[in-house]
Amino acid sequence: MKKITRVITRGASDRFSKALSHHGSSATIDLALARLQHNAYMKTLERMGAVVECVPSSAEYPDCCFIEDCALVAGGVALITQPGAPSRRGETTAVKEHLQRLLPTVEMLGSATLDGGDCLITDTHIFVGLSKRTNYEGYLKVKEVFRAKGFEVLSVEVEEHLHLKCVCSYLGDGTVLLAEGTVNPTRLGPHKIVTIPPEETYAANCVAFNGYALIPHGFPKTKESLIQNGFNTFEIDTSEFKKADGSLTCLSLLL
Ligand code: CIR
């Protein structure tokens, strides 16, 4: 099982209702409810055995709670990204300052763009989704930084979804949770694949470590599958984050 001791989150912006969203649904975000849901998220991560730290939110950056997109942490180093959406670029400054106190950091520069949500990190591999947010130069930077740390770094095309991790996440012990009919499992290297049905695709993005799996509320088949695979599960409501195209892993960095 993956051992995680520290998790970094970032609070929801006062302007969260201006966050990017595919269908414009962020305009209906209830900020107070979003903050309650975020608190529930942090409390649950604590129950899963992690110390949870929270970078203060920024009114300047409506999407700042989606901290996963700002850095890639693996092999004892953090790569600070250049998020693909121009409005999100400045989010990385506060995240970098926080991470610099904890581990060595490297910065992505030039024309490379990458959202952490496109990076599926396993014990041996990093799969980088080439998406509207992450370009080939971003993938090459991940390769440069993390091959030196012993990871095999491979690219995967992402066509229909915002990020690679909209359809999969790492459960630990060489196992990937994957929504059926999305990424071809043969692209995910030597990993064991646990599939969930297409109608539960949103729950393919779960946070699993220390023997626990945190999933969004209302996905019974995924829950059952995780229990069958030895996890104790927690569920939380993510309605307000979903309105901004967010899911569970995007709200944290695991150290
Ligand atoms: C965005 O469009 O960038 C945000 N509204 C949602 C980002 C979600 N991040 C993630 O899945 N890693």
Tens digit of pLDDT per residue, the chain (255 long)? 668 999 999 999 999 999 999 988 999 999 999 999 999 999 999 999 999 999 999 999 999 999 999 999 999 999 999 999 999 999 999 999 999 999 999 999 999 999 999 999 999 999 999 999 999 999 999 999 999 999 999 999 999 999 999 999 999 999 999 999 999 999 998 999 999 999 999 999 999 999 999 999 999 999 999 999 999 999 999 999 999 999 999 999 999
Catalytic residue among 161, 163, 168, 191: 163
Contact yes or no for 224/212 (Cβ under 8 A): no
Cα separation, 138 vs 114, in Å, equals 5
Ligand 1: centre distance to CA 230 (Å): 29
15: number of CA atoms within 13 Å, CB side? Answer: 11
Distance 66 CA to ligand 1 centre (A): 6
Q: Which residues line ligand 1 (CB under 6 A)?
A: 19-21, 63, 66, 68-69, 85, 88, 115, 117, 163, 244-247, 250
User: For residues 7-23, b (16+ Cβ closer than 10 Å) or e, as one string?
Assistant: bbbbbbbebbbbbbbee
Half-sphere exposure of 122 (CA within 13 A, CB side): 24
Output the residue whose Cα is nearest ligand 1's atom 7. Answer: 246
| Distance (Å) from CA 63 to ligand 1 centroid | 7
Mutate which of 162, 170, 248, 254 for ligand 1? The one with the most ligand atoms within 8 Å of its CB, which is: 162
User: What tokens appear for 174 in the block?
Assistant: 């060489």
Neighbours of 154 (CB within 10 A): 16
Residue 99, both tokens: 């991470």
> Which atom of ligand 1 lies closest to the CA of 133?
3
Atom of ligand 1 nearest to the CA of 245: 6
3-class DSSP assignment, residue 211:
coil
Q: What's the 250 CA to ligand 1 centre distance in angstroms? A: 7
Amino acid at 138: G
Best residue among 29, 69, 254 to mutate for probing ligand 1, ranked by most atoms within 8 Å of CB: 69
C-alpha distances (whole Å) from 77 to each of 107, 109, 127, 195, 252 are 11, 16, 17, 30, 16
Q: Running DSSP on this structure, what letter comes out for residue 57?
A: P
70 assigned to active site: no
Q: Is 163 a catalytic site residue?
A: yes
- Residue 247 CA: nearest ligand 1 atom is 11
